[in-house]
Structures are given as structure tokens and as C-alpha cells.
Amino acid sequence: GGIITQTPKFLIGQEGQKLTLKCQQNFNHDTMYWYRQDSGKGLRLIYYSITENDLQKGDLSEGYDASREKKSSFSLTVTSAQKNEMAVFLCASSPWGGADTGQLYFGEGSKLTVL
């Protein structure tokens, strides 16, 4: 079995700050995703990456950048944190192909609080 590790688990930032979240997977999966989870709103896709050095925008990409320099890692940057923002960011991976080719494997999440 494999594991997805997200760091940090908790991130507290100031308004306007640039904040970076990291995700590592040892499944050797091709595809990786970043989702944002807000209370009562389900998960919304921010960025995904089909393979190393590939980046694709999801519906919620505005205000975020992403980077996939290695197959095993996928990072997400909040370019300018918004005051009172609070959300959980979930990283996921899947072996290959589109979202319908099989299950996604999720990390434990990174909880962001902006003061």
C-alpha cells in the first residue's frame, strides 16, 4: 500500500501572505489533485496534474498556483491569503487516466486559517 502525506497539517497565515502546501505520494501514481473543502460545500477542484511538469486548472484555480516538479510531489501556493479565510485543502492521487478510471486516494488534509 501507499500513502499520501500533506504538510503542514495546520497553517496559520496573515492576510496577503503567500502560503505553500506540499503533498507527497508513494503510490507511483501519475495523476495528482488539489481540492478545497469548505464546510457545507463539498470539495472543489483547484488544480490537477496528469504527469510530472503538467498543470491543469480546475474550477477554483483563481488565487492559487501549483507546481509538479516530480512525479511524487505536488505543491499548491495560495498567492495572497484572504482575511478570515478558513478551509481544508486535500491532496489526492489516482493511478492514471481520467477521474472515471478508478478511485482517488486522499491525504489527511491541510487546514488553513488566515488571521
Applying CB under 8 A, which residues contact another protein?
A: 31, 35, 40-45, 48, 50, 56, 58-59, 90, 92, 98-100, 103-109
Decide whether 62 or 98 has the Cβ nearer to another protein.
98
DSSP letter at 27?
A: S
Decide whether 8 or 16 has the Cβ nearer to another protein.
8
* Closest separation in Å from C-beta 80 to another protein: 25
* Closest separation in Å from C-beta 42 to another protein: 4
Decide whether 73 or 88 has the Cβ nearer to another protein.
88
* Closest separation in Å from C-beta 61 to another protein: 12
d(CA 87, CA 37): 6
76, 18 in Cβ contact below 8 A? Answer: no
77, 66 in Cβ contact below 8 A? Answer: yes
Q: Is the peptide bond before 8 cis (omega within 30 degrees of 0)?
A: yes
**110-114 and 43-49 beta bridge pairing:** unpaired
